[in-house]
Amino acid sequence: KKARKAKKEFCLHDGPPYANGDPHVGHALNKILKDIRNRFEMLRGRQVHYIPGWDCHGLPIELKALGELGTSGLSPLQIRQKAREFAVGAIARQKAAFQRWGVMADWDKCYYTFDGAYEAAQLKVFQEMHSKGFIYQDYKPVFWSPSSRTALAEAELEYNPEHVSRAIYATFPLVTLPPDIASEEGLEGVSVLVWTTQPWTIPANQAVCYMPNREDNSQLLLVAAERTASLSALLGTELQIVATFTGSQLQGGVCKHPTIPEKQVPLLPANHVTMAKGTGLVHTAPAHGMDDYSVASHFKLSVECMVDEDGKFTEMAGPDLQDLAVMTEGTDKVISMLKACGALIKEEQCVHSYPYDWRTKQPVVIRPSKQWFINTESLKDKAKDALQKVRVLPESARGGLLAMLDKRTYWCISRQRSWGVPIPVFYHKETGDALINKYTMSHIAKLFKEKGSDCWWELPIETLLPPEVLKKVRKHLTDKISDDLDYLRGEDVLDIWFDSGASWAAVLEESDPRADAYVEGKDQIGGWFQSSLLTSVAVRKKAPYKSLVVHGFAVSEKGEKMSKSLGNVVDPDVVINGGKDSGTPAYGADVLRWWVAESNVFSEVQIGPNALNSARDSINKLRNTLKFLLGNLQGFDPRVQAVDAKEMYYIDQYMLHLLHEYSMKATDAYGEFDAGRVIRLLQAFITRDLSSFYFSVIKDRLYCEPEDSLGRRSCQTVLEELLDGVTRSIAPILPHLAEEVYLHAPGHEHETLFKSGWIKSVSVWRRPGLEEAMEGACAIRDSFLSTIPGKNAAQYDVTVVIEPSLLFELMESLQEEPSSTSSQLAELMMAARVNLTSEMPRDLPPDALLSHGTFLINLEGGVIREDSAYSIAVAPTSAARCPRCRRYTAQSADCLCPRCQTIEAVAE
């Protein structure tokens, strides 16, 4: 155990994708993003803990499983069997795709929320939360989806901002005037005016609420003073103010219900009354509103419900309404009833944001039912504290996480479905009392671990109860103990957000199960990030993650959400293997991965032909660079032929320095989940430092110097370092290309790149003064090249003039002689000849081009700063082109240059 601890671990906990449907580009974005980080950590020598998982239960799978058969007549076990088969199929397809994308994991050891061991761990979390009092049963309004016949949690809602409701203004005649205003003149026959967007809730009205301390006035209508202006406009009539009084004077008033004879409802104070819309007096139906419900609990009003699980009025609503669906015919009927009794003042269309079932895309209603809840209100502060210690990337996502915690005061965790983890509870046959305690829960957890949760339906109830509890609950007849039990097993299953929210307990099996990172799309801000936080905080007062990475969604190239109807869905499988038409070539997995890496994953991520083509072109460019490196390393054995950095040409040392800088920056960027920055660094390094600089400068040395010369070996040593560094730096993004290069690279010792470590860094590369010498020389080189735009530098002689100074000394380190065709300075300038002097020569050719510049030397962290001027004179060389090396260093066109003569002589 100790030895294991010694090796640093990196734990990225996989958020389980839903085992429903085919792999899509959103999966690709998420999985590849994670894989890039995992591979980076593995290269850095960390032990990577990454177990992919699937979220396997829940209504959408259940519906799909039922869909093939029609819904009726199946037992829970039959439904579960079908649902499981469906999930298993989806998992297999998704898993195969994740593997094709190059996602590294032990694919035989994944986690599945339908595994018995997982379910048992989840029940442990349930048990601990229950024993701490965070889980309770209650009868109260919840979001209810008639289309899926179940309660829904906030996280399962999708708000439709364009929902159209039939809003009404209706009157409630005041039958008992509030004592404080009973003496006012002209209040006979006054009615209270209310506004609602849900007319079907009028039958369930139990009160009209007002805001204490606000002014109200009335004529025939009682409305809030602040609302008179907008109401006049709306009703198209001038409202005359007859009397004005404050809200609290309304106390004691009683209204007659407009549609239900004999029913009277009180006027009551409430703090949720808003002056922003409506009449300032609020229709209150405790069964159908969260705020209404809190008024009802405070004033002990009835929360009776006259809407059934299908969203239809029950018998209790009376013969006119019974069996009508509340959102449609039920609403029509209520409105016509109001009209008939003269209570309808106005009807209008109201476009507002309304909750829909995110799976069926149908509107939900609020209705009360007996459900199990988590008291999130009491966890909120602890969760916020825990979140403070969590790093959030991007930091701007933190606000959303906090807002979600505030928004949710309770979390309804029971679902009236079959495909899930059963809530481990038994109910008394007559009283309905719940039987649930630590003995029953741990007994059931043990059974689930052994047999899976099917046993909840398979086993006789006697086996589901532990012996010590069983003894107590056997039916006690007058003189003997019967075998009959007073209890039934519960039929609800847990919300799947509770399933996945408990994954930290089931998957991270350390003594301190905390992941280094959770990485998911922004939709998980109110989903898995939150359910994981709440369960973990409830059980052990801390977050299950040290950092959260929140990425955006994949969208089309036009920035639109992908949808089948728009025809802009990008299938990752088509990206890799190609599609049917020529517009969809096979790009391969590396292009898909490059696209992910290159994107700004913290915002919306666009994908389409342009992004993919550009990714392919970028990879080709990189491939060419790697080919150049590999080609020039043919036959080079770094173990015996490498040159020590101290003996290298300055420019070679400088390249090592640049490589080092590049790798440090790339390392930082990977650590920030910013592979896009890695790619930008890589592209700058390859284009600016390698292709257009170093590779052109060293060509002569590489191709024309003797094979085993110090100069050639020196730059080969650097090419080998560059190949190694660049390959490692892109390996997390392009593992296939990197492995291929590694296989062909000289001197590798491991069978896979991923076991051979990260980019080496050697401190000797940071030689002081080296950078300044090279950068000074490069500044002079730029001046030279810009005086002969578009011309071949090799055809020119350059005279570099610097007054005696630090800069002169630095240039002398690159060229000791006053005049040279083969110095390091001459190589860097790529000129025929370089003369280095401290005085402008008098006998310059008449056609010489002059230019001047300055270079700021900054040494020892700014202690030595020197601004040095230099001049250069450029003239066409009088030398001829050497037929061997093609440099203009020969005396005549038919003889070799002196350097090449020596080489040829040795060769003979």
Ligand X SMILES: *[C@@H]1O[C@H](CO)[C@@H](O)[C@H](O)[C@H]1NC(C)=O
Residues that bind ligand X (CB under 6 A): 797, 799, 818-819, 835, 841, 844, 875
> CB of residue 895 vs Zn ion: minimum separation in angstroms?
10
Of 536 and 877, which has the nearer Cβ to Zn ion?
A: 877
| Residues 821/833, Cβ–Cβ less than 8 Å | yes
Q: Does 900 interact with Zn ion (rule: CB under 5 A)?
A: yes
Per partner kind, with CB cut-offs from 5 to 8 A, the member of Zn ion, ligand X, none near residue 163 is none
Per partner kind, with CB cut-offs from 5 to 8 A, the member of Zn ion, ligand X, none near residue 198 is none
Q: Does 413 interact with Zn ion (rule: CB under 5 A)?
A: no
Per partner kind, with CB cut-offs from 5 to 8 A, the member of ligand X, Zn ion, none near residue 875 is ligand X
From residue 610 to residue 629, the character string flagging contacts with Zn ion as x (rule: CB under 5 A) and all else as - is --------------------
- Specify the stretch interacting with Zn ion by CB under 5 A; choose among 528-536, 769-777, 863-871, 877-885: 877-885
Which residue from 412, 597, 643, 882 is in contact with Zn ion, where contact means CB under 5 A?
882
Of 451 and 884, which has the nearer Cβ to Zn ion?
A: 884
* Spacing of C-alpha 625 from chain mean position: 33
Q: 661 to each of 143, 671, 768, how far by Cα in Å? A: 56, 16, 14
Q: 23 to each of 20, 94, 285, 358, 733, how far by Cα in Å? A: 9, 5, 44, 19, 20
Per partner kind, with CB cut-offs from 5 to 8 A, the member of ligand X, Zn ion, none near residue 714 is none
Q: Does 884 interact with Zn ion (rule: CB under 5 A)?
A: yes
Q: Does 832 interact with Zn ion (rule: CB under 5 A)?
A: no
Which residue from 42, 344, 798, 897 is in contact with Zn ion, where contact means CB under 5 A?
897
Say whether 274 sits in a helix, a strand or coil.
coil
* Measured distance CA(288)–CA(330) in Å, rounded: 15
Q: Within a 10 A sphere around the Cβ of 471, how many other Cβ atoms?
A: 10
* Spacing of C-alpha 622 from chain mean position: 28
> CB of residue 878 vs Zn ion: minimum separation in angstroms?
16
Q: Within a 10 A sphere around the Cβ of 22, how many other Cβ atoms?
A: 12
Of 523 and 817, which has the nearer Cβ to ligand X?
A: 817
Q: Does 885 interact with Zn ion (rule: CB under 5 A)?
A: yes
> CB of residue 894 vs ligand X: minimum separation in angstroms?
22
Of 691 and 819, which has the nearer Cβ to ligand X?
A: 819
Give which of 501, 733, 730, 543 is closest to 625, Cα–Cα: 730
* Measured distance CA(266)–CA(141) in Å, rounded: 21
Of 564 and 842, which has the nearer Cβ to ligand X?
A: 842
Per partner kind, with CB cut-offs from 5 to 8 A, the member of ligand X, Zn ion, none near residue 221 is none
Instruction: Tell me the three-class secondary structure of 482-547, residue by residue.
Output: EEEECEEECCCEECHHHHHHCHHHHHCCCCCCCEEEEEEEHHHHCCHHHHHHHHHHHHHCCCCEEE
Say whether 363 sits in a helix, a strand or coil.
strand
Per partner kind, with CB cut-offs from 5 to 8 A, the member of Zn ion, ligand X, none near residue 900 is Zn ion
Per partner kind, with CB cut-offs from 5 to 8 A, the member of Zn ion, ligand X, none near residue 797 is ligand X
| Residues 652/711, Cβ–Cβ less than 8 Å | no
Of 818 and 883, which has the nearer Cβ to ligand X?
A: 818
Phi-psi region of 433 (alpha: psi -120 to 50; beta: other; left: phi over 0): beta
Per partner kind, with CB cut-offs from 5 to 8 A, the member of Zn ion, ligand X, none near residue 191 is none
* Measured distance CA(255)–CA(264) in Å, rounded: 6
- Specify the stretch interacting with Zn ion by CB under 5 A; choose among 49-57, 499-507, 567-575, 876-884: 876-884
| Residues 770/650, Cβ–Cβ less than 8 Å | yes
- Specify the stretch interacting with Zn ion by CB under 5 A; choose among 396-404, 656-664, 752-760, 900-908: 900-908
Q: Does 794 interact with Zn ion (rule: CB under 5 A)?
A: no
Q: β-strands 796-801, 864-876: how paired?
A: antiparallel
* Measured distance CA(4)–CA(387) in Å, rounded: 29
Of 698 and 825, which has the nearer Cβ to ligand X?
A: 825
> CB of residue 834 vs ligand X: minimum separation in angstroms?
8
Per partner kind, with CB cut-offs from 5 to 8 A, the member of Zn ion, ligand X, none near residue 882 is Zn ion
Of 256 and 881, which has the nearer Cβ to Zn ion?
A: 881
- Specify the stretch interacting with Zn ion by CB under 5 A; choose among 373-381, 498-506, 763-771, 879-887: 879-887
Q: Within a 10 A sphere around the Cβ of 668, how many other Cβ atoms?
A: 13
> CB of residue 888 vs Zn ion: minimum separation in angstroms?
10
> CB of residue 799 vs ligand X: minimum separation in angstroms?
5
Of 761 and 837, which has the nearer Cβ to ligand X?
A: 837
Of 726 and 836, which has the nearer Cβ to ligand X?
A: 836
Per partner kind, with CB cut-offs from 5 to 8 A, the member of Zn ion, ligand X, none near residue 220 is none
* Residues facing 266 on adjacent strands: 254
User: Order of strands, edge to edge, in the sheet holding 849-859?
Assistant: 819-820, 833-837, 796-801, 864-876, 849-859
> CB of residue 885 vs Zn ion: minimum separation in angstroms?
3
Q: Does 514 interact with Zn ion (rule: CB under 5 A)?
A: no
Amino acid at 764: V
> CB of residue 11 vs Zn ion: minimum separation in angstroms?
59
DSSP code for 320: T
Of 548 and 897, which has the nearer Cβ to Zn ion?
A: 897
Q: Within a 10 A sphere around the Cβ of 902, how many other Cβ atoms?
A: 12
> CB of residue 820 vs Zn ion: minimum separation in angstroms?
15
Number of H helices, E strands in the chain: 31, 35
Binding site residues, Zn ion, CB under 5 A: 882, 884-885, 897, 900
